[in-house]
Amino acid sequence: MNAFIQVGLFSIVVTAISVPLGLYMARVFSGQRTFLDPVLRPVERAIYRVCGVHPGTEQDWVEYTVAMLLFSAVGMLVLYGMERLQYYLPLNPQKLGAVAPDLAFNTAASFTTNTNWQAYAGESTMSYLTQMAGLAFHNFVSAAAGIAIAIAVIRGFVRRGSKTVGNFWVDLTRATLWVLLPICVVLTLLLVWQGVPDNLEPYVHAKSIEGAEQVIAQGPVASQESIKELGTNGGGFFNANSAHPYEDPTPLANFLELVAMFAIGAALTHTFGQMAGDRRQGWTLFTAMALLFLVGAAAAIWSEQRGNPQFAAMGVDQRASAAQSGGNMEGKEVRNGIVGSALWTTVTTDSSCGAVNSMLDSYTPLGGLVPLVNMQIGEIIFGGVGSGLYGMLVMAVLSVFIAGLMVGRTPEYLGKKIEGREMKLAMLFILIFPAVILLPAGAAVITKAGLAGITNPGPHGFAQILYAYTEASANNGSAFAGLNANSPFYNITLAFVMLLGRFMMTVPVLALAGSLVGKKAVPPSAGTFPTDGAIFVVLLIGVILIVAALTFFPADTLGPIVEEFAMRAGRLY
């Protein structure tokens, strides 16, 4: 009953807020007036004047892509320099030293790509300035860039006979000012109310009752926590991430952060429907995402509540009672319980957020398989801000192509014919993702440097490596946390995987938008396959699962699946 209440309430709230937020974003990116215009329009104009942006000039897909890549490259270089020089920069009361070159490169790539993978302890590695002006800045702009790309892709699908997909600088600015900043201000105040600190004080040194000295970290936590969840960034101020009571202190704070992870990804489906002039198209994508989410959440919660059969064989009672939570509580905070932990894990890997409030390395094999599969299907279950929507649109293109083959006519989506060029770009997008996961993961398991990071040999160790490269390519940032990844080998290889997973997949999807934007609409006929109903939802989900299974099932079999069978056979301890 607890699971039904928590998952049901969460689903209702996300659905309720997704519609008004999605319609609001449609107004923002269509240039229509909103209630924030009197305050934000002057700020926007000032930014354009300082940066030399001409907001009335739009870009074709190539210009849009180049602007996005250049902006990301410069931001990554600045962040790398800030990490390397932080000892000499202000707002460093702890006098933390320079970040090692390989770790600084990994972190700069991580936050530039909206991955926020952390191979370090935040409170003992990054200064306040690096956290705020470096990492938090990228939390905003990497999320805004993802939203901007999604809006450009939407324009490619819905515009008729055009040559342009928008202006990257305008979309980036409006995503930051009109969407991310206002929501983060409100969410930050709510989190402070719930007990999340937000200050610039030095760390507190206290003595415990036994006389031992304890260091209590301080810092601007709430302001970073809000954009961390809303922008699906996931990087924590503290090493324990959202398992730390300063980041996630109360049930209400936990719930607010969960909703924030899904808010923009869910709302963008309605933005798509509104800009397409057919709200049912948005609801179709939302429904497919929601059904995949519910199945994953149910599987994760069931697996963790079931517990470990080897404990039962040793006489350990895993049933829920007044004395214990029951099930597999290893690596989980008692204040969150199994349902709160498994639900969070499902949401964070559906949304490409990567924040964790429990230790994924301690999940049952099936419970750990759920977040892995969530990422392997392309982070399209609501997904990262922007990336989830455009990933789902690529799968929709593939689905209508398959439907067209079945009925023997040229496939169409939103009245536009899907032809050879569009399918080549869609397949390139789909094939890049497994390539940048499986190739480096294979290299890691056959090299001494890769094997040195494994702390648990066997199928679980392989799962740790597979998970690390999967989350890097999916720009997720979560981890099984049992892999010693802070080494030159993993820092460098994972950094390149993060960069390829973000930008190599962005280029073909923007090229797809550029190919579609110039096409004129074809009037629907009796043979047109409908893309706004239950049949298309079933087809879309089926295509997503089949593509993921054909690509990753062999690798998953060597990791979590064989580990599950071994656990059931009593061979794991």
Q: What is the pLDDT of residues 478-525, one digit of tens each?
A: 878 778 888 999 999 999 999 999 999 999 999 999 999 999 888 877
Task: Flag whether 30 is in a domain.
Answer: yes
What is the spatial distance between Cα 131 and Cα 123, in angstroms, rounded to a whole number? Answer: 9
Predicted confidence (pLDDT) at residue 403 exceeds the cutoff of 70:
yes
Percent of the chain at pLDDT above 90? 64
What is the spatial distance between Cα 489 and Cα 102, in angstroms, rounded to a whole number? Answer: 9
What average pLDDT does this structure show over 265-275?
A: 96
Task: Flag whether 256 is in a domain.
Answer: yes
Which residues contact residue 309 at a Cβ distance below 8 angstroms, ignoring those fewer than 6 apart?
A: 567, 568, 570
Predicted confidence (pLDDT) at residue 573 exceeds the cutoff of 60:
no
Q: Which residue has the higher pLDDT, 361 or 369?
A: 369
pLDDT of residue 561: 92
What are the backbone dihedrals phi and psi of residue 253, each rounded to the nearest 5 degrees, phi first?
Answer: -60, -40
Q: How many domains does the chain have?
A: 1
CB 243 within 8 A of CB 360: no
Task: Flag whether 245 is in a domain.
Answer: yes
What is the spatial distance between Cα 229 and Cα 242, in angstroms, rounded to a whole number? Answer: 10
What is the spatial distance between Cα 420 and Cα 543, in angstroms, rounded to a whole number? Answer: 19
Predicted confidence (pLDDT) at residue 439 exceeds the cutoff of 90:
yes
- Mean pLDDT (the chain, rounded): 90
Lowest mean pLDDT among 52-61, 308-317, 458-467, 476-485: 308-317
What average pLDDT does this structure show over 81-98?
A: 89
Among 500, 289, 517, 504, which Cα is nearest to 388's? 289
Among 500, 418, 397, 386, which Cα is nearest to 143's? 386
What are the backbone dihedrals phi and psi of residue 234, each rounded to the nearest 5 degrees, phi first?
Answer: 95, -15
pLDDT of residue 69: 97
CB environment 380-416: b (16+ within 10 A), e (fewer):
bbbbbbbbbbbbbbbbbbbbbbebbeeeeeebbbbbb
What is the spatial distance between Cα 247 and Cα 250, in angstroms, rounded to a whole number? Answer: 9
What is the spatial distance between Cα 465 and Cα 448, in angstroms, rounded to a whole number? Answer: 13
Task: Flag whether 269 is in a domain.
Answer: yes
User: How many other C-beta atoms lie within 10 A of the C-beta of residue 459?
Assistant: 21
Predicted confidence (pLDDT) at residue 244 exceeds the cutoff of 90:
no
What average pLDDT does this structure show over 396-412?
A: 87
What is the spatial distance between Cα 6 and Cα 511, in angstroms, rounded to a whole number? Answer: 41
pLDDT of residue 328: 86
Task: Flag whether 305 is in a domain.
Answer: no
DSSP E strand boundaries for 292-440? 412-413, 416-417
pLDDT of residue 457: 83
pLDDT of residue 68: 97
Predicted confidence (pLDDT) at residue 240 exceeds the cutoff of 50:
yes
Task: Flag whether 44 is in a domain.
Answer: yes
Range of the domain at 107: 2-277
Q: Rg of the chain over CA atoms, in angstroms?
A: 23
What is the spatial distance between Cα 366 and Cα 382, in angstroms, rounded to a whole number? Answer: 22
CB environment 180-199: b (16+ within 10 A), e (fewer):
bbebbeebbebbbebebbbe
Among 293, 290, 288, 286, which Cα is nearest to 272's? 286
pLDDT of residue 456: 82
Which residues contact residue 186 at a Cβ distance below 8 angstroms, ignoring those fewer than 6 apart?
A: none
> 3-state class of 215 per DSSP?
strand
Among 184, 219, 179, 172, which Cα is nearest to 74's? 172
What average pLDDT does this structure show over 174-192?
A: 96
Q: Which residue has the higher pLDDT, 294 or 317?
A: 294
Q: Which two tokens stand for residue 201?
A: 């004080």
pLDDT of residue 85: 92
What is the spatial distance between Cα 370 and Cα 467, in angstroms, rounded to a whole number? Answer: 11
| Helix (H) or strand (E) run with residue 15 in it | helix 2-29
Q: Model confidence at 572, in pLDDT bands (50, 70, 90)?
A: low
What is the spatial distance between Cα 351 and Cα 231, in angstroms, rounded to a whole number? Answer: 10
Percent of the chain at pLDDT above 70? 99
Task: Flag whether 36 is in a domain.
Answer: yes
Q: What angle do CA 72, 75, 81 make, to 5 degrees?
A: 140
Q: SS in 3 state form for 267-297?
A: HHHHHHHHHHCCHHHHHHHHHHHHHHHHHHH
Which residues contact residue 48 at a Cβ distance below 8 angstroms, ignoring those fewer than 6 apart?
A: 54, 55, 169, 173
CB 129 within 8 A of CB 86: yes
Q: Which two tokens stand for residue 375?
A: 């990422």
What is the spatial distance between Cα 143 and Cα 251, in angstroms, rounded to a whole number? Answer: 26
Task: Flag whether 185 is in a domain.
Answer: yes
What is the spatial distance between Cα 343 and Cα 191, in angstroms, rounded to a whole number? Answer: 20
Q: Which two tokens stand for residue 535?
A: 């049949």
| pTM of the complete model | 0.93
Using a 10 angstrom Cβ sphere, with 0-12 exposed, 13-18 middle and 19 or more buried, the burial of residue 137 is: middle
Q: Which amino acid is located at 113 in the chain?
A: T
**Cα–Cα separations (whole angstroms), residue 154 to 32, 125, 270, 290, 536:** 17, 40, 11, 20, 19
